[in-house]
Amino acid sequence: MQTSNINRGGIHIDLEHGTADTAAFNDKTASYPIPNDAPDKIRTLNDLTLSHISLSDFPVVQAWRNQLFDPEWIPEVCDELPRLLTEFLRKPKNDALPPITQRSQALKHIFSHKTPFVKKSDLLPGQTTTSFVGPVVHMDMSGYCIWPELDTIATRSQNPFKIKPEVARRFNEEIFPFWLERRTVQEVARYSDYDTADYANDQRDTVDGGMADDQRSIDPPLKKRAGETPKCQELFERVAFYLTDKATAVSHTAPDFGRVLNYGMDALIAQLRQDIANGSTTGMTVDQKEFAEAVIAVYEGAKIYAEHLAEAAGHAGNNELARICRRVPAKPAKTLAEALTAVWICYHLLLQENTNFGLSPGRLDQTLNDFYLNDWQQQPDDEARAAYTKHAVELMCHFFLRCSDHVPLSPETAEVLFAGSGSNQALTVGGTRYVNGKTVDAVNDMTYIILKATEMLSIRDPNVHARYHKDVHHRAPDGTPLGPGEISPYLKRICQVNLITRATPALHGDVPVIHSMANYYARHDHVTMEEALADAHDYASIGCIEQNSDHKHYGHTGSTLLVLPAVLELAMFGGKHRSDGIGRNDPNLFYGKTEYTSSPLNEMDSMQQFIDSFRFQLDEMARHCVQFNNYLGRTLAKVRPSPLLSGLFDGPTNIPDGHGAKFRDLSSGGAKYNSSGVAIIGLADVIDSFCVIDALVFGGKMTADELVAALNANFDPKRLPANKQTGFLKTLIELIKVQYPNDRQNKTRITIKPERLQECMDLIRVAPKYGAGVDKTPGGIFNNAMAVKYTHLLTRMIQDVFFKYRTHRGGRYLTGYWSMTNHAGFGMLCKATPNGRLDNASFASGITPCPGIVKANGEPVMLLDHMLSVASVNPDTVQNGYTYNLSLTPRGKEYFNEDTDLFATYMKTFMDQDGVLVQLCVTSIEDFIAADKAATAASQTGAGEAEQKALAPYKDLMIRVAGYSAYYVTLSPQMRQEIIDRANFGMESGIEQHETAGV
């Protein structure tokens, strides 16, 4: 083969001599054909797996993928974006502009001066940063966080970043000093006056508008003077109770790329100018006109960037990309290549506007399929058509790899909570649509082309999700339902890809998700149920796993992360927290006074009292969460609007010949639907703790004091001594604890005798547990009615408590259960919990049951127990989505077909029971243990070539964490252990593998 070199952002890739060994990888992508039995629906594919296409067919793609895992090319910090932004703001005339005008002109400046990377072999133009892979640095959000690490960021043990000396110098001497004089959003909020009363007459809340005033949503009162830090912000800064990403990200959503593909930016600009011209008759306000002009400015900036890309393509000899960039995104796309180019240009420009975290391509198969079919039909013969399908796969591979050219900017401290996370760019395929009052199949040719790219590349971004409808997709070509034991080709293909990639795609249940989202949309003023159903059918996965109507619903789905076990602690200790002390003279958490705000557990007479106490403390915590999110969000809307994202969304602006636009930025409530998402951390630990308190404390088997004594003793100090952490992690925990007002947790300890402690531990082990099944037979051996009861009670309570609160953009707070890796990070800051979880141990991830649970008779749970427990959760109580992390051990390549069928049967069972989402990890415990040992050795001081060689086979070992895919060896040591400890079921037996692996 002739050697050719491709320069990507200064990185040279040798196509013949790649640095990573791909032989094993290529071998594993050999899939088994699935005949297309519905050519009227899937029009261009005979084999749904496209098994004749392999990675080796695309040498550029293969070399590019190799480079992603080459240790020489770790992500490199680029200063282009902060340098251009700083350059613009240094000019006094620009610094004096109104926020929306300043923001749009700054973005136009950035787009117009962004380096246009195009190489001769590129199928898509441009890069997110100037690095082959690089973090995106937003100085007005969280870019400042790496200033203390400029000298160490390249050598830190966890996910290091390269940085050139001249780049570090510019940051240290020019960029960071300038931003010392400017405040980030969080600090702008702190140093501003704020009064909720100023928003009392805000008309943005359009949910349940016809209800009586006393049933309308609540905006928790908060009044503060500039420089004051309200309690809600103090709690946030203590880390252990809740976090919000409002200060660091606006991007948890799916933009409307379709309006650019169908109309082009020239037509969108013309419509905006017409709207401005008509403003005097339509009542457009000055603010609305300013917003419309801001969107025009960023569109113009995008067009200038495309022109520069065309020039760069011409200089590189890439005449086809030069032609395409002269057309899109200014004009409508006509071909698949033009459509995907326009999507990519818009997408990586959006990443210059907002943090690259959770911005999602949406239902890309629906966006692109017509372009692909039109191209395919224009091919002259069957041979040309087959070649074009192959080219479409290659185009999608280039898009996937482009999406992998950026990673989140993370300081070392953030690696504890978010280690190994990519940019969480959720790409959704399959599912259904709502046409003329009916639910119809939306799986198309591009669905399978995207799945093929997913299979071949096996990379963490984009974060691929597949939608499945338990009725629509379980049908034969003639429309008749398949038999109970039959599996649809579509579901079989999803499972094949999961077995090959080991961790993707995640699988969503259309029936429960559409039902729950339509219920929310229909509660909006002037939205009929038919319209709500149509929008709900068009949901896309956002960021990790959250579901919103594609480009219509701005849910800022990751606005808040709430630590539910912290609420459990407040309920147990009367509103006091062990970090502050729980004695009678110690302060309560929310008011700093010595009074209990509810009765402590040892003074209660019934489980109902405890439930009431928990509800009270949850409402207190929720109120503070909402206060902080609203006051931070309202500040962000004033100082940091998002005109490009707003211009690519349904609601803020009109499409040509459209009407009804709000001419309001997304951050101010411009979207058709608005909400804020609350991710609840530690649900399973709290459900199981409720069961322990009910069954054992109020069941008369142990006293409240004995339970507290067991917690104080960490159940068994010999198993996991407190404060085991060392090095950086120990330092981080100590730094966080320094922020606590005091630490009296050891002053009033209740003791317990060792033999009684063991008895209590034995009782806790066999108490009812979430995940141990849904059998509610009175007196039955496997009766798990209590766990089912508290699963439903808690999820409904949490939904109701948050839903009553109004967001700063209008809409409501919607709850879900997904945790990325922060269930491990938050767990490090929490003492032992009643379910038997030890000090500083991880919480259960997402909505997944806790590891190590057993049935009432001590037997291990089986796979169906696990699955049905999760599927029993009411979808109306998880409108922000959930992650169910299911780990399975397959039997090996020789059983690939058999395991695919078993896998698909399990998935069908979960979907048939209205499971909302399941994400898979198809790797054995032994493989994880081996990879963990290799990663540990390679990260030690003095590690060299031998350790890197031992690590190489595991570099691309992908794992579903808790909402996204990550490469296992990039996770923190604590998170890697949490993955090993998770329940892992045999594919054939359904038995929990820890029982047989001796782990």
Q: What is the pLDDT of residue 613?
A: 98
Bridge pairing between strands 885-889 and 984-986: parallel
Task: List the structure tokens of 383.
Answer: 């041979």
Q: What integer is the mean pLDDT of 401-412?
A: 91
Q: What is the pLDDT of residue 10?
A: 31
Given a cut of 50, is residue 744 above it in pLDDT?
A: no
pLDDT tens track for 846-899: 999 999 999 999 998 999 999 999 999 999 999 999 999 999 999 988 999 999
Q: What is the pLDDT of residue 965?
A: 78
Q: What is the pLDDT of residue 940?
A: 85
Q: What integer is the mean pLDDT of 583-610?
A: 97
Q: How many CB atoms lie within 10 A of CB 480?
A: 8
**Sequence-distant (≥ 6) Cβ neighbours of residue 461 within 8 angstroms:** 400, 403, 404, 422, 423, 424, 425, 965
Residue with tokens 């931070």: 632
Identify the three-state secondary structure at position 604. coil
Q: Where are the beta strands (DSSP E) in 558-652?
A: 560-563
**Sequence-distant (≥ 6) Cβ neighbours of residue 169 within 8 angstroms:** none
Q: What is the pLDDT of residue 743?
A: 43
Distance CA 960, CA 891 (A): 19
Position 545 confidence tier, pLDDT thresholds 50, 70, 90: confident
Position 999 confidence tier, pLDDT thresholds 50, 70, 90: very low
Given a cut of 80, is residue 996 above it in pLDDT?
A: no
Of 806, 508, 823, the C-alpha closest to 631 is 806
Given a cut of 80, is residue 720 above it in pLDDT?
A: no
Given a cut of 50, is residue 223 above it in pLDDT?
A: yes
Given a cut of 60, is residue 2 above it in pLDDT?
A: no
The residue that leads in pLDDT, 200 or 547, is 547
Q: What is the pLDDT of residue 143?
A: 87
pLDDT tens track for 819-839: 777 887 889 889 999 999 999
Distance CA 202, CA 197 (A): 10
Q: What integer is the mean pLDDT of 28-48?
A: 88
Q: Which domains does the chain have, with CATH numbers?
A: 5-61 (no CATH), 230-251+543-858 (3.20.70.20)
Q: What is the pLDDT of residue 883?
A: 93
**pTM of this prediction exceeds 0.85:** yes
Share of the chain above pLDDT 70, in %: 91
Share of the chain above pLDDT 90, in %: 75
pLDDT tens track for 140-179: 888 888 999 999 999 887 788 999 999 999 999 999 999 9
Position 419 confidence tier, pLDDT thresholds 50, 70, 90: low
DSSP state of 491: H
Position 216 confidence tier, pLDDT thresholds 50, 70, 90: confident
Among 560-569, 593-602, 718-727, name the one with the lowest average pLDDT.
718-727
CB 544 within 8 A of CB 426: yes
Given a cut of 80, is residue 739 above it in pLDDT?
A: no
Q: What is the pLDDT of residue 753?
A: 87
Q: What is the pLDDT of residue 418?
A: 59
